Structure 1
Amino acid sequence: MSRRARVLPGFSLSLGIAVLYLSLVVLLPLSALFLRTAELGWERFYRIVTSGWVASAVRFTLGASLVAALLNVVVGLLIAWVLGRYTFPFARVLDAVIDLPFALPTAVAGIALSTLYADTGLLGGALSSVGFRYPWPAWRGFERGWREWPIEWTVYDRISLAPLGVVVAMAFVGLPFVVRTVQPVIEDLSRDVEEAAATLGASRLRIFRAVVLPELAPALLTGFALALARGLGEYGSVIFISGNRPDTEIASQVIIKMIEVNETGTYADATAVAVLLLGASFALLLVINLLQRAAARVRSDGAAG
């Protein structure tokens, strides 16, 4: 019997190289992180991750990442729809600009955003001159940690050195994940069903809700999860626009401070916060994957019916 031709000959060799590379780049560093955290013991680990300082930073990071990811889903869907469905001048230029946050150093993005949205910046100054205001939830009494309650709303009149600036920075780095996840699906969508629905008298909103959105739902969930996870671990683009303020401190800043300042913690303490963020990212990705499978199952059942 003749052997089947393979593009990459040698399954064992290819698999071994893949597993070795994955272990060196991903698995071993994560294992070292958990092993270093295990040195703390459960009691100290619990005390660190439930302290008011860590709880405040993690809460703010989760909230800002969630707002940025939801914003990217809406705007990213619109951008992906324009790029996937329409032909217009400079479309390739716009398509290339979407990938700019991938190539641009995050520190450069942070400096650019902080300059633009500062009180003396082009957009920040213009918004300040028209009396721009927005509320943001804040927790008081850091000594209570995760049990802190109730939420107090603080009104801000600026973007830079304020929570909205952090959201803008996270939206900047997370937008390509949504666009690049949804755009191929939009390009592959058949327009026959949309045209048939329009012929039967369906409105544009109903066509989008009943025909297009179910097809895009798994891709949107994937893009949302990637943008959210990217926001949770962001540091470079946020550090400049947020400043060193307690009300805009993200979890990555807490980790850096624990490493750099001996009075506030140690390297092992920093790994405890890192493990907390890693666990949150894993949990979010797991939930999103389960939702994707459920959406795919419902779509397949609907097609079979």
Structure 2
Amino acid sequence: MTARSLIPFSRRERTIIPGFGLTLGITLTHLTLIVLIPLAALVLRPWELGLAGFIEEVTQPRVLAALRLSFGTALGAALVNAVFGLAVAWMLVRYDFPGKRVIDAIVDLPFALPTAVAGIALTSLYAPNGWVGQYLEPLGIKVAYTPLGIIVALTFIGLPFVVRTVQPVLEELDAELEEAAACLGATRLETFIRVILPVIFPALLTGFALALARAVGEYGSVIFIAGNMPMVSEIAPLLIVIKLEQFSYAGAAAIGVAMLVISFLMLLVINLLQRWSRRWAGV
């Protein structure tokens, strides 16, 4: 029996970093002030209308159309980013080519670029008389002022979330696993599905969730390219702003609560998929 084992269990060793009690108190205080109190205020405000008034507010055809558009386009953009974000991350990790560092830096531009500037740039690019839109218009493809334009804008602002989430996992992936699979006769597709995808899938889901969450609440880059036509290209965040300008604070909060509930359910499903994917990967 060593001298260390004779020290009473109740004594705690002093450490340089703060202890559990202090860090827990700081964490709970921060979360309460920054997250819980604002969310509580958002949830409580619509009940000024009563239950019937709340249901009537969020089930108006214009509100339902805006919610469908916001979450539908956000989901579509996140799926596009999941595919092409994985491709970009794969290219940056697996290949060396001239201008690689420049492309790597360009991926982060949507983080730094003001969303309003991004919206104006995309609108001028895809408008019927824009650099790209003038060639798409004769083909019957209209991007600006349509839901397709919203997906383009949300894809632009969400791409870095997928790339920066998947990239570190690909960098840590052992290339010997792929070589072993090839030696055992696996094709490239089989190697990707059975060896690579189970390892990177949790990170890919995380990037997908981050891109989806950012897209659902995006406002600045969307209002310029959407056209903001009710029942066609009007997003839910814009409808909230309209309600606030009309001093209908309870109505705006009601739409916000509806978005909060739908977002929570979507993220819950994604978290369940992440748990399943970790078991699939054997993590």
Unaligned runs of 5+ in 1: 134-156
Q: Does 1:74 align with 2:56?
A: no
Paired residue for 2:243?
258
Q: CA deviation at 1:7?
A: 4.8
Q: CA deviation at 1:212?
A: 0.8
Paired residue for 2:267?
285
Contact 1:181 1:220 in 2 (8 A): yes
Distance 2:111 2:40 in 1: 27
Cα deviation 1:175-195 (Å, max 9, x = unaligned): 111111111111111111110
User: Which structure's CA Rg is the greater one?
Assistant: 2
Among 203, 207, 229, the alignment partner of 2:213 is: 229
Paired residue for 1:168?
152
- For residue 19 of structure 1, what is the amino acid of its counterpart? L
Distance 2:190 2:19 in 1: 51
RMSD: 1.6
* Aligned length in residues: 273
- For residue 164 of structure 1, what is the amino acid of its counterpart? L
Distance 1:33 1:43 in 2: 18
Among 123, 126, 129, the alignment partner of 1:120 is: 129
Q: CA deviation at 1:3?
A: 5.0
Cα deviation 1:6-62 (Å, max 9, x = unaligned): 452233223222222222221111111111122222111111111101111111112
Q: CA deviation at 1:5?
A: 5.4
Paired residue for 2:107?
98
Contact 2:74 2:216 in 1 (8 A): yes
Contact 2:77 2:154 in 1 (8 A): yes
Q: Does 1:24 align with 2:20?
A: no
- For residue 287 of structure 1, what is the amino acid of its counterpart? V
Aligned residue runs from structure 1 range 47-196, under 5 A: 47-129=56-138, 131=139, 133=140, 157-196=141-180
Paired residue for 2:44?
35
Q: Does 1:242 align with 2:226?
A: yes
Distance 1:4 1:99 in 2: 43
Contact 1:110 1:169 in 2 (8 A): yes
10-19 vs 214-223, which moves further: 10-19
- Cα 1:6/1:91, change in 2 over 3 Å: farther
Contact 1:33 1:275 in 2 (8 A): yes
- Cα 1:189/1:51, change in 2 over 3 Å: same
What's the TM-score once normalised by structure 2's chain length? 0.91
Contact 2:74 2:151 in 1 (8 A): yes
Unaligned runs of 5+ in 2: 1-6
Contact 2:117 2:221 in 1 (8 A): yes
Distance 1:80 1:7 in 2: 38
Contact 1:8 1:14 in 2 (8 A): no
Cα deviation 1:235-262 (Å, max 9, x = unaligned): 1100000122121111111111111135
Q: CA deviation at 1:72?
A: 0.3
Q: CA deviation at 1:224?
A: 1.3
Q: Between the two proteins, what is the percent identity of the paired residues?
A: 55
Distance 1:63 1:278 in 2: 15
Distance 1:97 1:6 in 2: 42
- Cα 1:210/1:35, change in 2 over 3 Å: same
* SS of residue paired to 2:132: helix
Q: CA deviation at 1:89?
A: 2.6
Distance 1:124 1:5 in 2: 65
